[in-house]
Amino acid sequence: MSDVTRSSTTQPDWHENAFDLTRGIAAYTGSRLVAGLARVVGRHPDAAIANAFNHKQVASKLWARDRLFDTLGGRFEKVWILGGWYGVFAAMLFDDPRFDIGLVESYDLDDRVAAVASTLNADTGARFRALTGDMYDLDYRGGGPDLVVNTSCEHIADVRGWLDGLAAGTRVLLQSNDYFSEPTHINCVPSVEAFADLARLARVDFAGTLPTRKYNRFMLIGAV
């Protein structure tokens, strides 16, 4: 059978091809983040890493990372990322040499994602921990973080009620959107001004909007 005939009748192994591709890109670029993606593809073939690292997710997180550095700088002792999923935002922070972070703890309700997040961030050693937990049950006051990241406020019924549990002065990066047609979005807002009214932060250092094809993403950086 010729190579042409064989290629037209054999289904490609997506994960094997993606594993080879990401390993090759990691070798070429020297990127620890891409090397982590290759590990995830190789060890967790059922993980929806393509969704977690699609262009919209990456654009949103790049925007958050850049505005965070511009607004609060890059030095943080302890960062808590709530709804951290596969740990992509943590990996992007660690991948940026502008940031000097002592520890990132990534929390998610889904107990299936911690292993994937740990694989993605394996080369950070003790500086990253993926934990299964409910954001409402965390102790934000007893030795809590100096930065709390929550990019899924559209999933929170009472945003201000949750923020009331944080220690006064805690710095936060919050995102929401106006994607009202998504059934799992229970608390969207129509504008960044409405988001600011909802959060009622003690200090707002940044408020902005990132337009996308289907919706607008809103972000607040400041302190409670």
Write down the residue that tokens 């799992």 correspond to.
184
Same domain, 94 and 177: yes
pLDDT tens digits, one per residue of 4-52 = 444 445 556 777 888 888 889 889 888 899 999 999 999 999 999 999 9
pLDDT value, residue 190:
98
Distances (CA, A) of 128 to 34, 42, 50, 108: 17, 20, 22, 14
**Residues 24 and 122 reside in one and the same domain:** no
- 106: part of which helix (H) or strand (E)? strand 100-108
Q: How far apart are CA 171 and CA 201, in angstroms?
A: 10
Domain co-membership, 9 together with 93: no
Are residue 77 and residue 123 in the same domain, yes or no? yes
pLDDT at 21: 85
Structure tokens at 5: 């005939």
Same domain, 98 and 33: no
Q: What is the per-residue pLDDT for 3?
A: 45
Q: What is the pLDDT of residue 6?
A: 41
Same domain, 16 and 126: no
> Are 72 and 132 part of one and the same domain?
yes
- Non-local (6+) Cβ contacts of 92 within 8 A are 33, 61, 62, 65
CATH number at residue 132: 3.40.50.150
Report pLDDT for 48.
94
**What per-residue confidence (pLDDT) applies to 1?**
40
Residues 40, 130, single domain; the answer is no
pLDDT at 12: 63
pLDDT score, position 101:
98
The pLDDT tens digits for 71-125 are 999 999 999 999 999 999 999 999 999 999 999 999 999 999 999 999 999 999 9
Specify the number of domains making up the chain.
Answer: 2
d(CA 34, CA 64): 19
The mean pLDDT of 54-65, rounded to a whole number, is 94
Residue 66 has pLDDT above 60, yes or no: yes
Helix (H) or strand (E) holding 203: strand 203-211
d(CA 151, CA 123): 24
As a whole number of angstroms, the distance between CA 12 and CA 9 comes to: 9
In terms of domains, do 81 and 181 share one? yes
Look at residue 142 in the predicted model and tell me its pLDDT.
80
Examine the domain organization and report whether 76 and 121 are in the same domain. yes
pLDDT in tens, 209-222: 999 999 999 999 99
* Same domain, yes or no: 27 and 134: no
The model's pLDDT over 129-161, given as tens digits with 9 standing for 90+, comes to: 999 999 999 999 887 899 999 999 999 999 999
Rounded-to-integer distance, Cα 82 and Cα 151, Å: 8
What is the domain extent for residue 175?
A: 51-223
Same domain, 126 and 189: yes
Average pLDDT in the 52-62 region? 93
